[in-house]
Structure 1
Amino acid sequence: MLRYIYTCLFMIPSLAFSQEPILFPRTPDISPDNKTVVFSYLGDIWAVDATGGNARPLTIHTAHDFQPAFSPDGKFIAFSSNRHGSYDCFIIPAQGGKAKRLTHDSANDIVCGWSPDSKSVLFSSNRGLGYPGFSNLYSVSVDGGQPVRITFDEAKEGVIHPAGNLVAYTRGPGAWYRKGYRGSSNDDLWVANLDGTDNKKLTDFNGQDSSPMWSQNGTAVYYVSEVFGTPANIVRLDFKAGAKPVKITNHTSEGVRKARISANGAAIVYECGSDIYMIETSNPSKPRKITIKALVDDKTNTDRLVTFTQNASEFAINKDESLVIFGVHGDLYRMGISGVGKAVRLTDTPADDFGVAWAPDSSKAAFLSDRSGRIEVYLLESEDVEHPKFTEAQKFKVKQITNDEKPESNLTFSPDGKKIYFLRVGKLWSMNLDGSEQKEVVSLSMITEYSWSPDGKWIVYSRRDGSFASELFIIPASGPTKENPPKNITRYATSNYSPTWSTDGKRIAFVSERRNTPGLFVMEMQKPVANGKTNTDSGAIDFEEIHSRVSAVGSMNTTDAVISPSGSKIAFRSGDELWVASVTGGLVTKLSTGAVKPQGIYWSKKSTDLIYFRDGNGSLRTAKASSAIAGADLGSVSFRIKMMIKAAEENLEIFDQCWRLLADYFYDAKFHGADWNLVRQRYRPMVIHAPMKEDFQALVFLMLGELNASHLGLQMIVNPLEEQTPELGMLFDETFKGKGLKIKEVIKRGPADKRGLDLKPGEIIFAINGVELNPMVEVSQLLNGKNDETVALLVGAEIPPDPKTKNRRTVEITPMLRERIAPLLYERWIHLNAQKVSEMSNGRVGYIHIPGMDDAGLDRFVRSLYSDNFDKEALVLDVRFNGGGFTHDQVLNYLGAQDHTKFLHREGDKGAVLRSYDRKWTKPVILIINNRSYSDAEIFPNAFKTLGLGKLVGQPTGGMVIGTGSTKLIDGSTFRIPRIGVYTNSGVDMDTVGVAPDILVEPNPDDFKKGIDAQLQKAVEVILKDMQSGDLKKAGKEKILTPMR
């Protein structure tokens, strides 16, 4: 079935002059008179009669325009466009015309709708400063100017009540594209006054609610929901106490998305499947698909000529080191290792060719490709009569030599060139060069890599177990037998990987995590030779106690490593640089500077001083092992490739890669109940209708949403923002109605927190760089691009002591980019939380927030535990807004132990152990969680609860726990692949069920505006009460396990 994909690639129809109905029009809206539907297609805003027919473009721009919204009077259409890098709000006349830009901030401003009087546009944006940084609602005048903030906690998809006094919105971390999700990380509907006060929750369904729409008289809210089951449909909820939702559409195969109601309340339009539908609210049971045709030429060239001088995905050097094969954008090229001369193209298809390996005699090469629709092995040979040698050929033949549903990887030729070895779903296989006699060499799965001994007699491989530990094993090249099974040569069950042999076969260098961080190690294959004796068998391996013949090479954190041919040195990556060390660890030298990010390190067999590697930009680089000055002897093997890339073929290949990677590796072989083949059939035809990167990414996410799983995503390459909005380093009173900005707080260590500035809360900034601030001036527009410049602020009191002089002064500040302000806002949040806990407990209880389950988060936890909180009587531990990682056991290691020994100095204090960081926390602890505690920040509270360490306060976690990895696609995009399931002791898949708190506390937006953290307060109240009553821990401890599938 999948082979048909690539035979049809060159028959992709052009969208230009197509008479077929279009697919995947997005974000529709309908005019107040119900006669015209506007939508986004091909990155422009279009209009079509509500009955369907030929559409006409209202905007024509190379950027991405979407989210069109008719003004209630029908005169204008607002929309969002990334014409200046990020999305801003624009308006155009309803009949089309020149677009007027309303907002100028580098945050994404997404149009939601209009005010009832058509004088302002409502939009959502995360431009507001704070931690955590959520999206909120703003309004901006159709004349432009400073946007007015409406909500102060978290809000999107806002719609203003017809009376103009209320706003309904969605709140939560829900994923719009995910089908069937049930849990706390969903979106619910809320309503508030137009000044952001008196927030009330309208829906409490634990699935996704979205697209709120007021009825014409404001007595009901329509919205999209799965409350009646999957897929989503439109429901109606009367706006009164005790009302229950009523289902008004009945789509059974495809779900409803992105619905909008006309200003007169008579009609609703929405996305469903690949089309736009319309219903009349008076007769919603008969939805009508709007068939749309678009006679359109391409906005940009669909074929683009690209010159590559870097971005190579891999390099493979032949045995005599005269030639290199490298991959660029899915095709393979051959070039002289000197970089002189033209690169010869070896393959040319829309598919992804990769994983190339040279035959030892350079007569051919093998590679992997998805050109058949699956990953298979191919043989590449000369087909050039004039140049029959593969190393000189200009024409080539390609032969597929495997045909298996399971993907292959890690190709090598045996050193004698007679066999090809490869991994197939983690098992080691071999075959003849024509693909015959395929043999399972090692039947155990989860092998991640392997390496040949120089004489071709042995193979060392790394194999992982279900607990993420990996060991190194050696087998005969022909495969293990009952008499000669795989030999575990490391016997150190943490992680052991990246093995390479010295040329004489006497040593293996590898990376091992033996003290929490990966380091370099060298293993001797034989016992030392006695003095006066000679080694009679240099190729033999003495397996007796081989695991003990290991020595560490220095103490640096290491990832990739390669031993030199002589076995005397090791080249390795530490951080982002290339290093070399003697095997004794006595000499360690840094070879590179500038964060080269070395990958695929190869030590020359011809010149023992030469090292090849691929840098982070995809260039082939060289370094001299003897270099005494870092960076002084770095070289490069340059190439220049011109390639014609067809956009439609590229997008189809990326789509197929995404689908296939999940077909091959998704942790649940049943795909959470989705028919994965059918999913591909439904979504693939839409690809050619989504040439814009933004629409294509949305389409892929819709496909991913069918799996109802977390840790999925496609991150495409984006251009740097044209405009960036920096910050002055102050929080302002957003309820202030006067001219200028009223200072509420100066952010510590920010640009305004400098000696001599003397900026105080309550003061007013009246002007920036001589421009007087008033409602018609957007501050962001004045600051754009000023992050490395000094700006002049005119500052003074709101009511000056001398009305004549006004006592205003000029203050100069260099604004700071938001990415640098963000850590300061986080530290502010932590400080306020710790201060609140101390105040409530009279200093008895400490507070620690863990921002991520990673090394940085662990270090912060340990430092705070011992430096700030170890003398406290109890501890509030907080993992809200923690995105995960994998340090749950390390954190648990510090909690819940019992004192067993006391050490008493003759002069000094008494302590539990000698080293302070070995002390355990043995006192009461309570844990706060919420619906943004994800992944390992869910494994941790599950373990905390299971082990009876204390109580949980807050909201259920999101139920998003999967072991995941990522890979690069043909265009350089990054794609995430959930490969490992995580389950509770009772067998519950933690990617479907979150961890429930003992005390449920749902935060209210009104509390946020008042500076109240209800979850934090409840945690302190509970632990103080339990300290008094003695109820400090949960009963019923049991061993915590996280079995992997």
Structure 2
Amino acid sequence: MPVSIIKKTTISLMLGACFVSASAFADTQLLRQPSVSRDHLAFVYGGDIWLADRDGKNPTRLTQHPAAEFAPTFSPDGKWLAFSASYDRNTDVYVMPAKGGEARRLSWHPGADVVVGWSPDSKRILFSSGREISVSRSTHLYEVSVEGGHEQKVMDAIAFEGNWSADGKWLAYRPFPQAYAGSSGWRQHRGGTTPPIWLIDIAGKKLEKIPHENASDKSPVWIGDDVYFISDRNDGAANLFSYNRKSKLVKQLSKEMVWDIRSMSAYDKTIVYEVGGIFKEFDTVSGKTKTLTIDLSAQTAQANQLRPQWKDAAANMTSASLSPTGKRVVVTARGEVFTVPVKDGSVRNLTETAGVREKDASWSPDGKSIAYISDAGIEHKIVIKDQTGGDTSKSFSLGKTGYFSLLDWSPNSQMIVFQDNHLQLFVLNIAQGKITKLDESARRSTFNISFSSDSRWLAYTVAGANHFSQIKLYDFTSGKSTTITDGLSDADFPAFAPKDYLYFTASTNAGPTHVGLDMSSQERPLRNGIYAVVLAADGKSPLLPKSGDEEVKKEMKSDGDSSKDNAKKDDAKKDDAKKDEVAKSSKAIKIDLAGIQQRIVALPIAERNNLSLQVASDGGLFFLERPQPGVSNDPPAERSGNTANLMRFNAEDKKAKLVKAGIANYSLSADGKKLLLQSTGAKLEIADAAEKIDPKPINLSGLRMRVDPRAEWEQIFNETWWMQKEFFYDANLHGIDWDAIYKRYHPMLKHVQRREDLNDLMVEMIGELQVGHNRVGGGDIHQETPIAVGLLGADFSFENGYVRIKSILKGDRWSPFAPAPLAIPGLDVKEGDYLVAIDGKTIDAKTNLFSLLENKVGKQVNLSIMRDLTSKTTHQVVVQPIANEAELRQWHWIEKNREYVQKKTDGKVAYVYLPNTGGEGYQYFNRMFYAQAEKFALIVDERRNGGGQAANYITDVLSRQYLAGWKDRDGMIYETPGAAIYGPKAMLIDQDAGSGGDFLPYAFKRMKLGTLIGKRTWGGLIGISANPNLIDGGNLVVPFFRFFTPDNEWRIENEGVAPDIDVDLDPIEVNQGRDPQLDAAIKDVTERLKTYRDIKLRVAPPMPRKLGQ
């Protein structure tokens, strides 16, 4: 089958090539990923691949497509240029003639296939892929023929990048990833994820390790018999090093002091490397370095991303609230403030400030103004603007420090309450222009607030040292605050009624749920009751019983007077109603603070996960009821953020009733008569604030804005720099001159050609802080329309001219949402069978198997299966390919390990794997540990653990003491604790286990639970994240808290946890099907089992023989 031609990526160099002007930017920067041949230099700029002469002159663009094209690599003979591209949202391998022509696609697998090199004879392209990885954070190396066909795995050992020696015998490669990669900014990483360079003779089963320090080595290339690579081993910028295989010595070659060398390429005796966004050429003979000046036209690099465009802002909506009477909605989206009509009228953009972020817009209760936070000038200010727009506004500076959030107006429209990221609550008196600090929380939390209708009182929550929130009342007349709950319950979501009452939630079982950092908070139900505070000392409970007695009727007047009197009464009632409406907001609310805690009344509402209380104008109490954690595991297609039920409680009938199911959030208009319902997917609806509602959708199609990319990128860059300063756990930023860092990186902005480049630049900038969990990514990047490629849940090889099924992934029989396509009972497919055709299309030597599964996910596919080569008889089976095999592969590997441990230990040792320390790790532990709790010893495997929480739950279970046995008349003895393993324990760790995967082995070791075996962990115990997303939806993670030990020492961060027994995942053994780390753990626990005395009493003492015993 011919390899497909991708015409959309091609510009012929011979016909009509677009040579660019050198006048736009002399010494263009942000040049990436050089590849050098005898005559040419290929590189990446603006997401496209470019070609220039060896000296950088005469640059021209080879590819032009909004999707990313990267990793250009010349074949050794200089005839071909291979690269990876993410067309159709699938990263695959492509090849094109080095002198121009069409690009051909060579891989189709839905995993990311990244070009890393070539075979020495220029016939095969070497690439990395995670397609057959059992657990994340790893890849293998594969080769594919330049003519197309089935890919072949180079070896079973993990490898991230590699380069063949000239004779094709030795592979220089990096065996695991580095910490500073992708979205993670982490220069000078010194934890466990500091990869070495290894040289392996796969056929000869020989391994040679380049001398390695606690540093990151990468990008190996061969020049003769020596290996050149990039390393940050000298505690400065990453530089160029060489390794002489004869002397076994490593030598530093370049002297870069400021910027890291990020990538490089070699040809003959010359190396071209990328540093500071430019290219330099290093002569390995003379040792001299020169800069290559490349001039490109910025306007032609990615014109589509640079051009100002009108875009839908609804996808980036960050807040929405109703106007006072519900005729309009004020929306903040993508840094602009809009008002959207509920029914009649048009959408108004009130701000239209390119390069400025406005947020948290709120309508004043009198309807005249809209207030919002603006970051113009890299500082926050509150801006108050006329609700119809215009240029006139009032501005109140909030100072040079602090990141602020606007909470709400006072009902009289004279005050605005807001908070900052440093746990402080403030109020702005608009007329006076005065800002007053009201309170400060002991713990990081949101201040939930509510104003009394007369604007005198503010009810708000403050988190205490015990993590419980309390309700406080601030009196704007006296300037004093009073706590009205006792701190023994977790009180939250205060909501004033128009008069008489303050409602709030309170929980007495919230304690275990509060510290979300702890795994012990997993699947803890939260029961919130709803309460009312009777505000006045002489007030009445909303639940006060009615007597049921007859009311005495007043004496009736004569008929002649009644009609006139009734008319007068009706007029008086109308006048009173108007007066009441006008006076409602200003009518004084009576609050007696003395004895107020004794006037708290529990409402007859089921204690569930109730939250977000608000009171309608008729006194109806609205609230949300959210599902409890862990109560169900829904199909993936049914999972969304619309999980809350909107409820309403009426004091008259003392019942809570469902108003609407399946929403994300809601709010009330200032007059309490309209509901705004919010659902995921930028969906807004409006309804009357009644018991029964008929929601009407709000049309957001007019929520569009003109986006100037250059101005927006400037704002994103500035806010990223600013949020590091405001949210980083150390206010001094470890002593770094952050202003100097800004001055170093900001000039690079003018070279940014697309949103992805901006992320790349910001990753480098935040990497200067040299800590983990500091990341930036996403945003308004180009998104291809995906064309999903199906997978069959199997491994394949190409043998005897056919594709053979090497192994079938059985998956997890207890997971209903991870089907294994070829493991279905009754399907006549076996390991060793040959797959000869898909939907009637024959698979030959030049056909890539996965090309026939493109756009086949979830669809019925006919497979032609051949059982043996002798008869060549085929039979047909029908299967449904899946989109992702990750869970299948993970459980396949886990079960293989568990069964291996069972066999090697005669069933005495349990094996538990933990993919992370979040929800998945919690579930895996519960599932695997308790099912094996009768065993004598335990191996916990946390290799490649992705972290999540501090796994105190796991260490608590593992450290349980045997307390009691219980004798039943029949059956086995049972114990307290009901499930525990008291014998020897070992934990497998490696360099890819981090964050929570650092804390778990740290705690395991500190608590002396057993032996740590493997390699030093990642070293990332600095926490995330309290800051908001970026203006275009991009994510920025700023670490805002950090671990220290009970000895009051900063540890683990940028250090990792060292094993007690250091064991490499030796590639020679892995290629032979062994796991040396797992074998070491088995050896450790079985040796200790020989001397272990079982403390669990499996036989009860002799039965009592006397009464009373």
TM-score past 0.5 threshold: yes
Q: 2-side partners of 1:86 and 1:205: how far apart?
A: 36
Q: Which residue of 2 aligns with 1:831?
A: 895
Q: 2-side partners of 1:979 and 1:472: how far apart?
A: 24
Q: 2-side partners of 1:184 and 1:291: how far apart?
A: 38
| CA deviation after TM superposition for structure 1 residue 270, in Å | 1.0
Q: 2-side partners of 1:856 and 1:480: how far apart?
A: 51
Going from structure 1 to structure 2, the CA distance change for 1:750 and 1:547 (only over 3 Å counts) comes to farther
**Matching residue's letter, 2:89:** G
Once the two structures are superposed, the pairs formed by residues 432-511 of structure 1 within 5 Å of their partners are: 432-433=429-430, 436-443=433-440, 446=444, 448-455=446-453, 456-464=455-463, 469-478=467-476, 487=483, 489=485, 491-492=487-488, 497-504=492-499, 506-510=501-505
Whether 1:274 aligns to 2:343 is no
Whether 1:812 aligns to 2:878 is yes
Conserved in 2, the CA contact under 8 Å of 1:647 and 1:691? no
Counterpart secondary structure, 2:434: coil
| CA deviation after TM superposition for structure 1 residue 401, in Å | 3.2
Conserved in 1, the CA contact under 8 Å of 2:426 and 2:439? yes
Is there any run of 5+ residues in structure 1 with no aligned partner, and where? 1-13, 382-389, 1034-1045
| CA deviation after TM superposition for structure 1 residue 561, in Å | 5.3
Q: Which residue of 1 aligns with 2:553?
A: none
Going from structure 1 to structure 2, the CA distance change for 1:132 and 1:51 (only over 3 Å counts) comes to closer
Q: 1-side partners of 2:465 and 2:155: how far apart?
A: 47
Going from structure 1 to structure 2, the CA distance change for 1:296 and 1:707 (only over 3 Å counts) comes to closer
Q: Which residue of 2 aligns with 1:539?
A: 591
Q: 1-side partners of 2:494 and 2:1062: how far apart?
A: 50
| CA deviation after TM superposition for structure 1 residue 590, in Å | 7.0
Counterpart secondary structure, 2:912: strand
Conserved in 2, the CA contact under 8 Å of 1:16 and 1:297? no
Q: Which has the larger radius of gyration?
A: 2
Greater Cα offset, 326-335 or 557-566: 557-566
Once the two structures are superposed, the pairs formed by residues 688-699 of structure 1 within 5 Å of their partners are: 688-699=750-761
Q: Which residue of 1 aligns with 2:107?
A: 103
- The number of residues matched between the two structures is 979
| CA deviation after TM superposition for structure 1 residue 899, in Å | 3.3
**Matching residue's letter, 1:507:** L
Q: Which residue of 1 aligns with 2:685?
A: 621
Q: 1-side partners of 2:594 and 2:800: how far apart?
A: 83
| CA deviation after TM superposition for structure 1 residue 558, in Å | 5.7
Q: Which residue of 2 aligns with 1:929?
A: 989
Counterpart secondary structure, 1:970: coil
Q: 2-side partners of 1:201 and 1:541: how far apart?
A: 75
Aligned-pair identity in percent equals 24
Q: 1-side partners of 2:146 and 2:369: how far apart?
A: 66
| CA deviation after TM superposition for structure 1 residue 551, in Å | 6.8
Conserved in 2, the CA contact under 8 Å of 1:448 and 1:461? no
Q: 2-side partners of 1:634 and 1:659: how far apart?
A: 42
Deviations 1:86-134 (A, max 9, x none): 2322233333333233323332222212222222222222233533472
Conserved in 1, the CA contact under 8 Å of 2:836 and 2:842? yes
Whether 1:973 aligns to 2:1064 is no
Q: Match for 1:89 among 89, 93, 96?
A: 93
Q: Which residue of 1 aligns with 2:667?
A: 602
| CA deviation after TM superposition for structure 1 residue 474, in Å | 0.4
| CA deviation after TM superposition for structure 1 residue 414, in Å | 3.2
Counterpart secondary structure, 1:829: helix
Q: 1-side partners of 2:374 and 2:992: how far apart?
A: 39
Greater Cα offset, 108-117 or 555-564: 555-564
Is there any run of 5+ residues in structure 2 with no aligned partner, and where? 1-19, 513-523, 548-587, 628-640, 812-818, 1096-1109
Whether 1:202 aligns to 2:267 is no
Whether 1:291 aligns to 2:357 is no
Q: Match for 2:948 among 885, 892, 910?
A: 885
Q: Which residue of 2 aligns with 1:592?
A: 661
Q: 2-side partners of 1:492 and 1:62: how far apart?
A: 57
Q: Which residue of 2 aligns with 1:387?
A: none
| CA deviation after TM superposition for structure 1 residue 579, in Å | 0.7
Going from structure 1 to structure 2, the CA distance change for 1:977 and 1:586 (only over 3 Å counts) comes to farther
Conserved in 1, the CA contact under 8 Å of 2:171 and 2:201? yes
Whether 1:30 aligns to 2:36 is yes
Q: Which residue of 2 aligns with 1:960?
A: 1020
Counterpart secondary structure, 2:895: helix
| CA deviation after TM superposition for structure 1 residue 261, in Å | 0.8
Q: 1-side partners of 2:274 and 2:713: how far apart?
A: 22
Q: Which residue of 2 aligns with 1:732?
A: 796
Q: Which residue of 1 aligns with 2:635?
A: none
| CA deviation after TM superposition for structure 1 residue 404, in Å | 2.8
Q: Higher relative CO (CA 8 A, sep ≥ 6), structure 1 or 2? A: 2
| CA deviation after TM superposition for structure 1 residue 24, in Å | 0.7
Q: Which residue of 2 aligns with 1:418?
A: 414
Q: 2-side partners of 1:395 and 1:576: how far apart?
A: 38
Once the two structures are superposed, the pairs formed by residues 546-695 of structure 1 within 5 Å of their partners are: 553-554=605-606, 556-557=608-609, 562=614, 566=619, 568-574=621-627, 576-581=642-647, 587=656, 589=658, 591-593=660-662, 596=663, 598-599=664-665, 601-604=666-669, 606=671, 610-622=674-686, 633=695, 635-636=697-698, 638-695=700-757
Counterpart secondary structure, 2:714: helix
Q: 2-side partners of 1:53 and 1:552: how far apart?
A: 80
Conserved in 1, the CA contact under 8 Å of 2:982 and 2:1094? no
Q: Which residue of 2 aligns with 1:431?
A: 428
Deviations 1:923-972 (A, max 9, x none): 54332222222212222222222222222222222111222126322112
| CA deviation after TM superposition for structure 1 residue 80, in Å | 1.9
Going from structure 1 to structure 2, the CA distance change for 1:105 and 1:926 (only over 3 Å counts) comes to closer
Conserved in 2, the CA contact under 8 Å of 1:310 and 1:639? no
Greater Cα offset, 978-987 or 670-679: 670-679
Greater Cα offset, 790-799 or 581-590: 581-590
Counterpart secondary structure, 1:268: strand
| CA deviation after TM superposition for structure 1 residue 346, in Å | 0.9
Q: Which residue of 2 aligns with 1:257?
A: 262
Going from structure 1 to structure 2, the CA distance change for 1:295 and 1:442 (only over 3 Å counts) comes to closer
Q: 2-side partners of 1:224 and 1:139: how far apart?
A: 24
Deviations 1:768-816 (A, max 9, x none): 223332331111111111112222222223432x4xxx22222222211
Whether 1:870 aligns to 2:878 is no
Q: 1-side partners of 2:114 and 2:449: how far apart?
A: 52
| CA deviation after TM superposition for structure 1 residue 556, in Å | 4.5
Deviations 1:141-185 (A, max 9, x none): 222222222132321222111111222111213123631101211
Q: 2-side partners of 1:112 and 1:892: how far apart?
A: 41
Q: Which residue of 1 aligns with 2:630?
A: none
Going from structure 1 to structure 2, the CA distance change for 1:860 and 1:295 (only over 3 Å counts) comes to closer
Going from structure 1 to structure 2, the CA distance change for 1:222 and 1:1032 (only over 3 Å counts) comes to farther
Going from structure 1 to structure 2, the CA distance change for 1:210 and 1:545 (only over 3 Å counts) comes to same
Q: 1-side partners of 2:1093 and 2:271: how far apart?
A: 55
Counterpart secondary structure, 2:1001: helix
**Matching residue's letter, 1:426:** L
Greater Cα offset, 436-445 or 888-897: 436-445
Conserved in 2, the CA contact under 8 Å of 1:166 and 1:193? yes
**Matching residue's letter, 1:954:** G
Q: CA RMSD in A?
A: 3.3
Going from structure 1 to structure 2, the CA distance change for 1:615 and 1:440 (only over 3 Å counts) comes to same
Going from structure 1 to structure 2, the CA distance change for 1:25 and 1:720 (only over 3 Å counts) comes to closer
Counterpart secondary structure, 2:644: strand
**Matching residue's letter, 1:817:** A
Q: 2-side partners of 1:919 and 1:756: how far apart?
A: 38
**Matching residue's letter, 1:214:** W
Counterpart secondary structure, 1:891: helix
Greater Cα offset, 536-545 or 883-892: 536-545
Q: Which residue of 2 aligns with 1:773?
A: 843
Greater Cα offset, 42-51 or 750-759: 42-51
Q: 2-side partners of 1:541 and 1:1008: how far apart?
A: 72
| CA deviation after TM superposition for structure 1 residue 921, in Å | 5.0
Conserved in 2, the CA contact under 8 Å of 1:366 and 1:377? no
**Matching residue's letter, 2:1040:** R
Conserved in 2, the CA contact under 8 Å of 1:791 and 1:814? yes
Going from structure 1 to structure 2, the CA distance change for 1:855 and 1:133 (only over 3 Å counts) comes to closer
| CA deviation after TM superposition for structure 1 residue 333, in Å | 1.2
Going from structure 1 to structure 2, the CA distance change for 1:923 and 1:138 (only over 3 Å counts) comes to closer
